[in-house]
Amino acid sequence: MALVKKEQLLSTLDKIVSTPILVVGDLILDRYVWGRVDRISPEAPVPVVEVLKTEDRLGGAGNVVRNLATIGAKPTVVGLIGNDEDGLGLLQLFKEIGADTAGIVVDTGRPTTVKTRVIAHSQQIVRIDREKKGGDSPEACKRMCAALEARIEKNRAVILSDYGKGAVSQSVLDFLHAASTDHRLGLSGRPLFVDPHGTNYSNYRSMSVAKPNRKEAETATGKSISSVQDAFDAADILMKRWNSEMMVVTLGEDGMIVKQAGEEKGVHLETMAQEVFDVSGAGDTVTALFTAALAVGSSPTTAGVLANIAAGIVVSEVGTVAVDIERLRAHVSRWGEA
């Protein structure tokens, strides 16, 4: 028997349309250099890539924003960019999808984070990163917290997308903790969904939902996860450590588990992927869909199934992509069929 009826999933998608959701975190410009390889360089044993096209996409927290926009939600962004052309490029990409960018802070002391991936014949050959981790100015952190304060009440949910690049400072974490303590954030009202990163494992506290992947959960708990029960055990540990109301642990080809504090049993959802070409960005898709579903009052199981279906779609594509609402509806309509 299906855990959720497809009518519930489709109804949830309808409710998500125009739902305002706030995303705070590390903004990254994903640059893709697409080409082909016909020979090896005479200078070194490396392939020579003939460039066919270059494409810029929203990465990091920006990919969460893009996923929210493509499923019809109304995303608002708070984060940091540098005073450079790549920062302007990010702003343009956000504006093209209709995201509210007034909360984005320009930090003159850092470059915009850029990840350049060189891809030939559907395979990534090399990745080149330009970034400055941490060390953000107190003024930039102060402005980010002010941007959050001005926007938190206007949104139905808040997503903290931590990629360890420095935007998720102690000041930001303290602000969100205070908002949770004041009951402005919480699972029963305005959920705070945290996509964690190792740089802040010791700093997280008071959140509605946390979503580590298998490796992150292993690192955070110091315990190996080789079974679904291991994942549930890790979830229990992290819920207590981070004072989280719910834990979602993504397990790659083994799907994901959803466990709520105080409940004896959780839910294991098997993967929906038919073919896996590229897992980059799948976690952001889960974050966006799960949060949006919770924001409109769906159950954790409904949110998990919807997020799992969406993730199964994006891993079948090359590069960081966002799930298209019509394609998602089509997959949901077929969900549960033999």
pLDDT tens readout for residues 148-174: 999 999 999 999 999 999 999 999 999
pLDDT at position 230 is 96
Please tell me the predicted confidence (pLDDT) of residue 28.
96
The per-residue pLDDT of the chain, averaged, comes to 91
More confident residue, 205 or 337: 205
Reduced to 3 states (helix: H, G, I; strand: E, B; else coil), residue 218 is helix
Helix or strand run (H / E) with residue 333: helix 325-334
36-83 pLDDT, tens digit per residue, is: 999 999 999 999 999 999 999 999 999 999 999 999 999 999 999 999
Distance CA 221, CA 200 (A): 13
Confidence band, pLDDT 50/70/90 cuts, at residue 338:
very low
pLDDT per position as a tens digit, 272-290? 655 544 455 678 999 999 9
The mean per-residue pLDDT over the stretch 23-43 comes to 96
**What's the confidence (pLDDT) of residue 280?**
58
pTM to 2 decimals? 0.92
HSE, CB side, 13 Å, CA atoms: give it for residue 303.
Answer: 28
**Positions marked active-site:** 284
In one-letter notation, the amino acid at residue 311 is: A
**For the residues 109-125, what does the mean pLDDT come to?**
93
What number of other Cβ atoms are within 10 A of residue 35's Cβ?
18
DSSP per-residue string spanning 147-197: HHHHHGGG-SEEEEE--SSSSS-HHHHHHHHHHHHTTSS-TTSS-EEEE--
129 pLDDT more than 60: yes
Mapping DSSP onto H, E and C, the string for 27-88 reads: EEEEEEEEEEEEEECCCCCCEEEEEEEEEEEEEEHHHHHHHHHHCCCEEEEEEEECCCHHHH
**pLDDT score at 89:** 97
How far apart, in Å, are the Cα atoms of 248 and each of 127, 144, 181, 193? 29, 27, 22, 10
pLDDT at 323: 82
Please report the domains of the chain, with CATH numbers, ordered by start residue: 6-27+59-112+131-334 (3.40.1190.20)
pLDDT of residue 135: 62
Spatial neighbors of 329 by CB under 8 A, at least 6 apart, are 10, 13
Q: What pLDDT does 334 receive?
A: 83
Q: What is the pLDDT of residue 137?
A: 83
